[in-house]
Amino acid sequence: MTSDLLALTLIPGLGPVLIGRAAAHLGSAAAVLEASPAQLQTVPGIGPEKAKAFFESRSAAREAAKRAVERAAAVNARVIGLHDDEYPPLLRTINDPPPILFVRGAFDHGPAPGAGGDRYPLAIVGSRACTQYGREQTARFAAALGSAGITIVSGGARGIDTAAHAASIRSGGRTFVVLGCGIAKAYPPENQPLFEQIVSEGRGVIISELPIDTPPAAENFPARNRIISGLSLGVLVIEAARGSGSLITARLAAEDHGREVFALPGRVDSGASEGANELIKTGGAHAVTAPADILAMLEQPARHAFSGTHAARYGQGVSTDAPLFSSPSPSPIASVSLGVATLTDTQKRIHKVLESPLSADDLLKATGLEPAQLRADLTILELRRVVTRSGSRFERAAGSGAMTGG
């Protein structure tokens, strides 16, 4: 049960790997809590001293778990365990998933193929001390990808993280904030209104694996970064300096989690972009210059996420009895989720007039839209593969006619 897992996390000296190993070895979290010191010593990594200390801490841990559940409710949060249905499917597949998560807001994994707004998450990470270029490009990518059905994952920090969360919800998309402090804290403090907006408007979730009132501290962030990567199909790095924590996330994504890693090229004379540019130079990340680049490269991982084979193809984490999603599909990400999202009225207008290929000038005349509105809507329609471009002309994508009744 989740309460048993929570109690295990509150026993000093037990981390996610050892908790998972003990529960697997003895059969369940409850069995671990009931085990004798001799039984505990049969678990690889638990010696006599640790078994004795663990055994003596059990009662206090159970009481602390009860208080933690009550405290979570007091701050409008709840506790979910590794094998709960609500637990994020991709995160479950890494080799050290958090046994429990404290969560505010609601996940939208979806009960059926094609449903669920959180089925295709992408992490966007970067510098706290970002430049105007970094903020602008983060907003550009997060808004376009959020509009196209991608859930944006980041760490809630100043700079790139904040720009990614804010642009995602402005676009009507969803976002996950993974805190490096307890769920009762807001860090940085100025982001509390943003976090409250995400929860109150149903735009995503606030997540932490740490005890509820844990203050922010530098040592919390590396472990937090593995959750950001684990939640996501891929990681986009925007403006990371050398030694940046964002590069830790990128390394975890590529080496430990088998995720796609992308980086936005930055100025070659900017220290803020040294780490991101180095990732590209060394082959540690795909260079991307437009949101469509990411959608194209996420297509294959998304197919595996949809069919429930992502862990087998990319992950090295714990196994689960149930597949991530209930049935496979040969369809690419665009047709599974992105292309079937409801179009706005102006997007429907564009789609309707494209009975034959038209240039942008022709579309301006035919639709009566402002140039900026037309450019924005054409970008979204291309991302969703409802419209394709051939040279200077746009046309309906094959099979998209039924989507708008056009």
Residues of the domain holding 123: 91-313
Position 187, amino acid: Y
How many domains would you assign to the chain?
3
pTM of the model: 0.76
Residue 110 buriedness (CB in 10 A; 0-12 / 13-18 / 19+): middle
In sequence order, what E strands does 282-329 have?
286-287
Supply 295's token pair: 């959608």
Residue 80, SS3? strand
Check residue 357 and report its DSSP letter.
Answer: -
Domain C-terminal end among 313, 328, 358: 313
Question: What does the radius of gyration of the chain's CA atoms come to, in whole angstroms?
Answer: 23
Report DSSP letters for 163-196, one per residue.
HHHHHHHHTT--EEEE-SS-TT--SSGGGHHHHH
Residue-level pLDDT at 303: 60
**How far is 230 from 257, CA to CA, in rounded Å?**
7
Q: How many residues does the chain have?
A: 406
Cα-Cα-Cα-Cα dihedral sign, residues 223, 109, 286, 156: negative
**How far is 396 from 34, CA to CA, in rounded Å?**
63
Residue 287, SS3? strand
Quick check: 397 and 334 in contact, CB under 8 A?
A: no
Residue 332 lies in a domain: no
Check residue 201 and report its DSSP letter.
Answer: T
Residue 330 lies in a domain: no
Residue 356, SS3? coil
**How far is 325 from 115, CA to CA, in rounded Å?**
10
Which CATH number characterizes residue 39's domain?
A: 1.10.150.20
Same domain, 245 and 353: no
Residue-level pLDDT at 124: 97
Cα-Cα-Cα-Cα dihedral sign, residues 180, 217, 191, 122: negative
Residue 84 lies in a domain: no
What angle do the packed helices 2-9 and 16-26 form, to 10 degrees? 130
Residue-level pLDDT at 242: 84
Residue 333 lies in a domain: no
Same domain, 144 and 191: yes
In this structure, what are the phi and psi dihedrals at residue 178, rounded to the nearest 5 degrees?
-105, 110
Supply 97's token pair: 């998933």
Residue-level pLDDT at 185: 92
**How far is 208 from 224, CA to CA, in rounded Å?**
8
Same domain, 278 and 147: yes
Residue-level pLDDT at 304: 60
Number of H helices, E strands in the chain: 17, 12
Kindly report whether the peptide bond that precedes residue 99 is cis, defined as omega within 30 degrees of 0: no
Which CATH number characterizes residue 354's domain?
A: 1.10.10.10
Same domain, 58 and 122: no
Check residue 397 and report its DSSP letter.
Answer: P
Residue 334 lies in a domain: no
Same domain, 349 and 306: no
Sheet strand arrangement including 260-263: 78-81, 100-105, 204-208, 175-178, 151-154, 121-126, 234-238, 260-263, 286-287
pLDDT of the chain along its 406 residues, tens only? 788 999 999 988 788 888 988 988 999 999 999 998 899 989 988 888 888 888 888 899 999 999 999 999 999 999 999 989 899 999 998 988 999 999 999 998 764 333 457 888 999 999 998 999 999 999 999 999 998 889 999 999 999 999 999 999 999 899 999 999 999 999 999 999 999 999 999 999 999 999 999 999 888 888 899 999 999 999 999 998 887 888 889 988 988 898 999 999 998 888 889 999 999 999 989 999 999 889 888 876 666 655 566 665 555 443 333 322 222 333 333 333 344 345 778 888 898 899 899 988 899 889 998 876 787 677 667 766 788 877 778 888 876 554 444 4
Residue 85 lies in a domain: no
Residue 205 lies in a domain: yes
| Pairing of the two strands 286-287 and 260-263 | parallel
Residue 255 lies in a domain: yes
Same domain, 260 and 305: yes
Which CATH number characterizes residue 273's domain?
A: 3.40.50.450
Strand partners, 235: 123, 261
Residue-level pLDDT at 120: 87
Report DSSP letters for 211-259, one per residue.
-TTPPP-GGGHHHHHHHHHHT-SEEEEES--TT-HHHHHHHIIIIIS--
Residue-level pLDDT at 122: 96
